[in-house]
């Protein structure tokens, strides 16, 4: 056992299924969700949204709405613009699209908020909103990624419709010869549908200006701290101190990572009107006008040697960013985490995000999950192609503990991942041979059973390399009553952090679980953390709580030893009682110790602070890896294409399991969402840019009959963090899709391959494979969508080059480097001596010099070593054209990033 997991108290709470602390209020209707907040004089918002996907706003007619009873104010972008707002991404970098809180002269997607109606009741606001008339000069929208490549600019003034990109096609030159040498080369293409995150509680916000110095905001969010920081930075450090409270939130799943346009508009309206303002998103808005996720088009090619060992791979990835992404994104993480669980010598990629006239891209549980889906489904296909068992092919290429430390072809170091061990644990718990026999017998009867496997690793508990990804703080005290109170930087949208953190405290402090009260969900307590973002709270807050409880136990023991004239080593705390070894008569309750610590400081040891408090902020290792292997067994009805899941079993390694009930709940929730993605959920758009799933009758959420009973195997290899936890929040949603697709593909294998995986795998699309023809009409549909002639409103012409100004490159330039986390602005300074170039790059974070660059003609090349987010050498290759330059920066494992600049 890891020494850090040794308990101070005797009772074992870590690892037990303690009933959740959250459930008492949630089961009795006493929770406080944002819509439950009622303030005197509070006003209600209804948004008027664009029904047109693209065009210029000709007029907005507000008079009829203004006449309606109860209407307090009607605001457009011109009104909101009196309060400057700079929208930011999750990484606190600027949004590159010209996003405003309400539409500013143009609309770029159906659902774009145009007008904000504010009335004394929600019903009055909706009545008035229905009378607002927005006239738009409609233009032909770009809907698909294919449209974006050829169509007019979504955002006039930009160079093209590429929202973000890394890598380029040139990199294939290095990979292609390796693929050419391979005995087997397999390829796949996946068109992933658009997903609506669909938390059961939509977005919600109440903003209350409490005088000139304070603003309290109740918001459905994933971290009150992150929301408060976002609001403060987006509003340019307003005079008010902003406090965000989120007691109960009905699910987040990535959608609520950051406040977005509507929440910001509510806060700004409250500032302008000096009144409390509430907005509660309804389901129609939640489905069609909350940020969407996952729409991707991915092609992956893998080369294997004659023994089935991976040699090289190439990926071409594209995702639909919509018009107003919550951060332009080319999803670099897909490529970073595609191969670290495997031995693969060479990998190259090009990855792009595209603007279209659809709702913007947001995060969704495991945003990079495509890496597992495309890799695991391709490996499964490769096994059938080569004629090797899929489990055997995994074994030949997976990393086991004995193979580590290992560095991936993208430069990701792994030292304690266990995908291979998870696979072996999984195989030890299923009778694979028996299933294959049953499958063969069933086929004779015309029944089609299938089995699918998938393995993966997941980066969790990230801290210290990206602005929002930080440590966690716990403030812990024993009150004079003997009660234990913890105030945490965490937030639960169902995660049960109050429960798991109380278990850690109970065990480390030696008190009963029931004696502990945990407060979280308020930016006024704890300190900054991004909350539920990146499967991190159990790892980092767990470590913080572990350490703080030990610090507090040490203080109790020191006080008790002093009072009893005993050695500290002789003091133990169990069940809320403080014992002295060998002197049972000297036992005291924690309450007695606490009363002395607060009320009689003269009795404390020399120099000891009064009270019984501890605070700790834990900064864990930069990343903690979780591994898993899953297996699904299905039956596919060859007549109807209907899939029945017969069994699903998974072996995951999330290190120390604080509460199996909570861990399994996270895995199960992710797997249910995976089943939804593979079989049911879809947010399609028509060619005019209308979202076609407007209710839960159109958007099919998994119900109890779609989800089987899952079986869990916990591998529990302690990580290197305090407490040994690994994150588990997103994994089910990442490993679930390939597991299920592979089971279906195995069942369908007598009929043929799923050549191009189009999700969801509806019964009709499964019948396509069974009948070997386009029964579902999917191909016809894609061809029709992709053949829509692009509107000719604005040509995607490159900006006209200005005539050259001063010759030479010496001096200062304003430069932008488009990093995977967003654009980074800096000043570049160059000094030339002949062809030799030196200089520096300067950003708010600091200045870094370089030398040894070369200028040949209009082309400058130089290199610079950086430490953050990790140690890499940046290789710049820039071409100058008068007062402008543009080019690329090779960023090691991240591939190439665009760079451009102009004379300062």
Residues engaged in binding another protein (CB under 8 A): 16-17, 19-20, 22-31, 33, 35-36, 123, 198-201, 248-251, 253, 282-283, 492-496, 660-662, 664-665, 668-673, 695-697, 701-705, 707, 709-710, 732
Q: Could you give phi then psi for residue 303, rounded to 5 degrees?
A: -105, 135
Three-state SS sequence of 674-727: HHHHHHHCCCCECCCCCECCCCCCCCCCCCHHHCCCEEEEECCCCCCCCCCECC
Q: Which residues of 659-671 are buried (b: 16+ CB within 10 A; e: fewer)?
A: beebbbbbbbbbb
Nearest Cα neighbor of 723 from 616, 841, 576 is 616
Which is nearer to another protein, 281 or 768 (by Cβ)? Answer: 281
State the burial class of residue 847 (Cβ atoms within 10 Å of its Cβ: 0-12, 13-18, 19+).
Answer: exposed
Would you list the DSSP string of 404-415? Answer: -SEE-TTS-EES
- CB of 826 closer than 8 Å to CB of 817: yes
Which is nearer to another protein, 249 or 897 (by Cβ)? Answer: 249
First to last CA, the chain: 59
Residues 6+ apart with CB under 8 A from 875: 861, 863, 889, 890
Q: Residue 295 in 3-state DSSP?
A: coil
Q: Could you give phi then psi for residue 228, rounded to 5 degrees?
A: -65, -40
Give the number of other CB atoms < 10 A from CB of residue 798: 8
- CB of 740 closer than 8 Å to CB of 675: yes
CA–CA separation, 875 and 852 (whole Å): 12
With the C-alpha atoms ordered 264, 267, 271, 275, is the resulting torsion angle positive or negative? positive
Task: Tell me the sheet residues that pair with 61.
Answer: 133
Q: Which residues of 300-312 are buried (b: 16+ CB within 10 A; e: fewer)?
A: bbbbbeeebbbbb
Q: Residue 178 in 3-state DSSP?
A: helix
Which is nearer to another protein, 71 or 412 (by Cβ)? Answer: 71
CA–CA separation, 55 and 824 (whole Å): 31
Peptide bond into 869 cis (omega under 30): yes
CA–CA separation, 682 and 662 (whole Å): 28
Which is nearer to another protein, 660 or 772 (by Cβ)? Answer: 660
Q: How many Å separate Cα 415 from the centre of its chain?
A: 24
* H or E stretch covering 270: helix 261-273
CB-facing half-sphere around the CA of 835: CA atoms within 13 A? 7
CB-facing half-sphere around the CA of 231: CA atoms within 13 A? 31
Would you list the DSSP string of 837-901? Answer: EEEEEEETTEEEEEEEEEEETTEEEEEEEE-SSSSEEEEEEEEEETTEEEEEEE-GGG-EEEEEE
Q: Residue 425 in 3-state DSSP?
A: helix
CA–CA separation, 810 and 860 (whole Å): 12
Q: How many Å separate Cα 796 from the centre of its chain?
A: 32
Give the number of other CB atoms < 10 A from CB of residue 60: 19
With the C-alpha atoms ordered 98, 100, 104, 109, is the resulting torsion angle positive or negative? positive
Give the number of other CB atoms < 10 A from CB of residue 170: 11
Query: Looking up tokens 């029945």, which residue turns up?
Result: 644
Which is nearer to another protein, 365 or 888 (by Cβ)? Answer: 365
- C-alpha distances out from residue 549 to 296, 471, 614, Å: 45, 17, 8
């Amino acid at each position: 056992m890891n020494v850090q997991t040794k308990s101070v108290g005797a009772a074992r709470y870590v690892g037990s299924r303690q009933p959740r602390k959250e459930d008492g209020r949630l089961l009795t209707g006493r929770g406080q969700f944002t819509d439950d907040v009622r303030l005197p004089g509070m006003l209600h918002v209804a948004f008027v949204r664009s029904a047109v996907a693209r065009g210029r706003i000709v007029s907005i007619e507000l008079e009829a709405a203004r006449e309606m009873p109860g209407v307090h104010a009607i605001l457009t972008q011109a009104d909101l613009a009196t309060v400057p707002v700079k929208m930011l991404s999750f990484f606190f970098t600027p949004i590159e699209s010209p996003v405003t809180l309400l539409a500013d002269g143009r609309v770029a997607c159906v659902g774009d908020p145009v007008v904000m109606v504010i009335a004394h009741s929600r019903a009055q606001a909706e009545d008035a909103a229905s009378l607002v008339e927005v006239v738009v000069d409609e233009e032909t929208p770009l809907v698909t990624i294919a449209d974006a490549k050829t169509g007019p600019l979504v955002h006039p003034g930009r160079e093209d419709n590429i929202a973000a990109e890394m890598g380029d096609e040139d990199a294939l030159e290095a990979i292609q010869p390796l693929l050419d040498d391979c005995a087997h080369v397999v390829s796949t293409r996946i068109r992933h549908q658009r997903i609506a995150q669909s938390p059961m509680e939509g977005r919600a916000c109440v903003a209350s200006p409490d005088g000139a110095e304070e603003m309290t905001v109740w918001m459905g969010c994933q971290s009150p701290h992150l929301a408060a920081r976002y609001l403060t930075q987006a509003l340019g450090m307003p005079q008010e101190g902003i406090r965000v409270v989120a007691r109960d939130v009905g699910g987040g799943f990535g959608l609520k990572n950051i406040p977005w346009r509507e929440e910001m508009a509510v806060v700004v309206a409250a500032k302008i009107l000096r009144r409390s303002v509430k907005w509660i998103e309804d389901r129609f808005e939640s489905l069609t006008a909350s940020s969407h996720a996952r729409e991707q088009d991915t092609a992956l090619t893998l080369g294997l040697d004659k023994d089935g060992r991976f040699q090289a791979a190439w990926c071409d990835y594209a995702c639909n960013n919509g018009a107003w992404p919550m951060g332009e994104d080319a999803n670099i993480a897909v490529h970073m985490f595609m191969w670290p669980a495997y031995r693969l010598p060479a990998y190259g990629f090009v990855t792009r995000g595209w603007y279209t006239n659809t709702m913007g891209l947001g995060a969704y549980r495991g945003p990079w999950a495509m890496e597992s889906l495309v890799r695991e489904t391709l490996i499964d296909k490769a096994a059938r192609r080569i004629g090797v068992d899929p489990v055997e092919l995994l074994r030949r290429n997976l990393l086991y503990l004995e193979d580590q430390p290992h560095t991936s072809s993208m430069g990701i170091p792994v030292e304690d991942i266990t995908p291979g061990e998870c696979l072996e644990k999984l195989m030890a718990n299923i009778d694979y041979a028996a299933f294959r026999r049953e499958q063969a017998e069933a086929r004779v009867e015309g029944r089609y059973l299938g089995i699918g496997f998938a393995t993966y690793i997941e980066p969790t508990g990230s801290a210290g390399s990206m602005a929002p990804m930080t440590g966690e703080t716990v403030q812990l005290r024993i009150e004079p009553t003997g009660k234990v109170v913890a105030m945490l930087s965490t937030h639960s949208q169902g995660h049960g952090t109050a429960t798991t953190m109380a278990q850690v405290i109970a065990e480390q402090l030696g008190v009963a679980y029931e004696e502990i009260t945990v407060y979280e969900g308020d930016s006024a307590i704890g300190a900054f953390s991004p909350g539920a973002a990146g499967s991190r709270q159990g790892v980092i807050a767990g470590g913080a709580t572990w350490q703080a409880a030990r610090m507090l136990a040490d203080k109790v023991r020191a006080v008790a030893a002093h009072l009893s004239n005993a050695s500290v080593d002789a003091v133990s705390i169990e069940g809320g009682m403080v014992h002295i070894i060998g002197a049972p008569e000297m036992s005291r309750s924690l309450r007695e110790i606490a009363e002395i610590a607060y009320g009689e400081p003269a009795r404390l040891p020399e120099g000891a602070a009064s009270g019984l408090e501890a605070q700790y902020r834990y900064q864990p290792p930069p990343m903690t890896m979780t591994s898993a292997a899953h297996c699904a067994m299905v039956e596919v009805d060859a007549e109807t294409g209907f899939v029945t899941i017969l069994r699903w079993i998974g072996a995951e390694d999330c290190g120390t399991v604080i509460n199996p009930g909570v861990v399994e709940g996270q895995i199960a929730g992710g797997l249910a969402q995976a089943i939804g993605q593979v079989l049911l959920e879809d947010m399609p758009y028509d060619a005019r840019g209308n979202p076609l799933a407007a209710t839960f009758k159109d958007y099919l959420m998994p119900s109890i009959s779609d989800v089987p009973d899952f079986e869990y195997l916990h591998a529990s290899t302690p990580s290197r963090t305090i407490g040994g936890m690994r994150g588990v929040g997103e994994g089910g949603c990442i490993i679930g899709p390939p597991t299920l697709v592979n089971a279906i593909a195995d069942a369908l294998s007598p009929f043929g391959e799923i050549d191009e995986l189009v999700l969801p795998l509806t019964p009709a699309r499964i019948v396509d494979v069974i009948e070997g023809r386009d029964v579902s009409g999917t191909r016809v549909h894609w061809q029709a969508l992709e053949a829509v002639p692009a509107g000719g409103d604005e040509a995607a012409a490159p900006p006209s080059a200005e005539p050259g100004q001063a010759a030479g490159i010496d001096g200062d330039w304003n430069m932008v480097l488009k990093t995977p986390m967003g654009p980074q602005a800096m000043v570049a300074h160059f000094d030339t001596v002949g062809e030799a170039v030196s200089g520096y790059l300067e950003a708010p974070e600091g200045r870094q010099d370089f030398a040894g660059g070369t200028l040949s003609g209009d082309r400058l090349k130089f290199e610079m070593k950086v430490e953050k987010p990790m140690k890499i050498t940046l290789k710049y290759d820039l071409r100058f054209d008068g007062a402008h330059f543009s080019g690329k920066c090779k960023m090691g494992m991240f591939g190439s990033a665009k760079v451009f600049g102009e004379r300062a």
